[in-house]
Amino acid sequence: MKFKTFRSAVAGVLALTGMVGSDALLAQQYPTKPIRVVVPFAPGGGADVLARLLAKPMQAKLNQMLVVDNRAGAGGLLGAQIVAGSAPDGYTILLATASLAVNTSLLANVRFDPIKSLAPVSWLASGPLVLVAHPSVPANSLKELIALAKNRAGGMNAGSNGAGTTSHLSIEMLRQMTGIEIAHVPYKGGGPAITGAVSGEVDILFATAPSAKPHLSTRRLKGIAITTANKSPAFPDLPTVGSVLPGFESNNWYAVFAQVNAPKEIVTKLSEEFSQATKAPEVLSFMAKDGIDPVGSSPAVLGSYFKNEVIKYSDVIKRGNVRAN
């Protein structure tokens, strides 16, 4: 009996060793066919452009095509579900944005848990929203803006890129952390929202960096603060919201995920390749124009950050009773 037990144990060790060796060999050979990059938004947006720019240096390095597949729907969750349900071989991956963390809690009848169904690959880039105000608003700093809202009858109104967007949730975070009255005015996208801010329809707006930048330089809007934890090279004169309200962070990030059971060696290889690709000149040029900064993290860093993002937005959504529409 002891001999049989020993033989079974040895067989198990050998089998495990063979599996590890097989996965390592698989990673060395990977990829042997084109990689499908699911972008869960329509062509032409930031995620789509970034995916196509990253594909160029990676294709040259990996000697395989990276085929961008736009699958818009359900605020980005449709594309995420496609990847979650794909074969766990690393040949179908997702290029997601912060909307993945938001819509997990915001939308009803979400059929999967992205934390349990997706393997983090790399946090690619990080960019702020910019808190802007119409020039008629008599406040030039966040402290002055908060004081104004507290002393003004009815508070103030704030535009957003749409109900349930990070632009909207940033307003909700500001309201919850300060107690000020803010009437939410949702627009159908970033373009109409910035037009509303410039025209004075709304007092303030958490705008995307590319939409805010030209209006700050012409002084049709004034910059108050940015929403990332650290200051941004794209807006060197603007402080962070967190410098006044510790813990406030709202990040327009981009990240890559694979199917949760994809071999770890392949996930690691993909992470390294994406991290290198973020340093390509054409990628850095796009990021600078869009006011985002390269990150290129490990899978572990993205995994931890993504879990915290899901928890943070879930809490904001529940406390504010936020609805998608």
The reply to whether domains 34-127+252-320 and 129-243 share a CATH topology is yes
Look at residue 20 in the predicted model and tell me its pLDDT.
54
Helices 99-106 & 166-178, crossing angle to 10 degrees? 70
Closest CA to 306 of 267, 269, 238, 254: 254
Cis peptide before 114 (omega within 30 of 0): no
pLDDT at 259: 98
Q: Tell me, what DSSP letter sits at residue 253?
A: -
Q: Domains of the chain: which residue ranges? A: 34-127+252-320, 129-243
Helices 2-29 and 264-277 pack at an angle, to 10 degrees, of 20
pLDDT of residue 24: 72
Cα–Cα distance measured from residue 155 to residue 139, given in angstroms and rounded to the nearest whole number = 13
Could you tell me how far CA 179 lies from the centroid of its own chain?
Answer: 27
- Per-residue tokens: 138: 């008599």
Residue ranges for the chain with pLDDT beneath 70: 1-23, 325
Q: Please, are residues 125 and 93 in contact by the beta-carbon 8 Å criterion?
A: no
Query: For the sheet containing 254-259, what is the strand order?
Result: 66-70, 35-39, 92-97, 254-259, 118-126, 293-294
Calculate the CA 96 to chain-centre distance.
6
For residue 87, the 8-state DSSP code is: -
Pick 129-243's CATH classification: 3.40.190.10, 2.130.10.10, 3.30.2350.10, 3.40.980.10. Answer: 3.40.190.10
What CATH class is the domain 34-127+252-320? alpha beta
Query: What whole-number distance in Å separates Cα of residue 197 and Cα of residue 14?
Result: 66
As given in the structure block, the two tokens for residue 24 are: 């390592």
- Residue at token pair 């452009």: 49
Give dist(CA 213, CA 209) in Å, integer.
6
**Residue 283 region by backbone torsions, left for phi larger than 0, else alpha for psi between -120 and 50, else beta:** alpha
Task: From 291, 318, 324, 302, select the one nearest 99 (Cα to Cα).
Answer: 324
Dist. CA 27–CA 269, nearest whole Å: 7
The full length of the chain comes to: 325
Query: How many other C-beta atoms are found inside a 10 Å radius of the C-beta of residue 70?
Result: 17
Nearest-angstrom CA–CA distance, 314 and 320:
10
pTM: 0.87
Q: Long-range CB contacts (< 8 A, 24+ apart) of 266-271?
A: 266/23, 266/26, 266/27, 266/30, 266/89, 266/90, 267/90, 267/119, 267/120, 267/121, 267/299, 268/27, 268/299, 269/27, 269/30, 270/90, 270/93, 270/121, 270/122, 271/121, 271/122, 271/297, 271/298, 271/299
User: What per-residue confidence (pLDDT) applies to 16?
Assistant: 54
Contact between 95 and 38 (Cβ < 8 Å): yes
- In angstroms, the CA 147 to CA 142 distance is 9
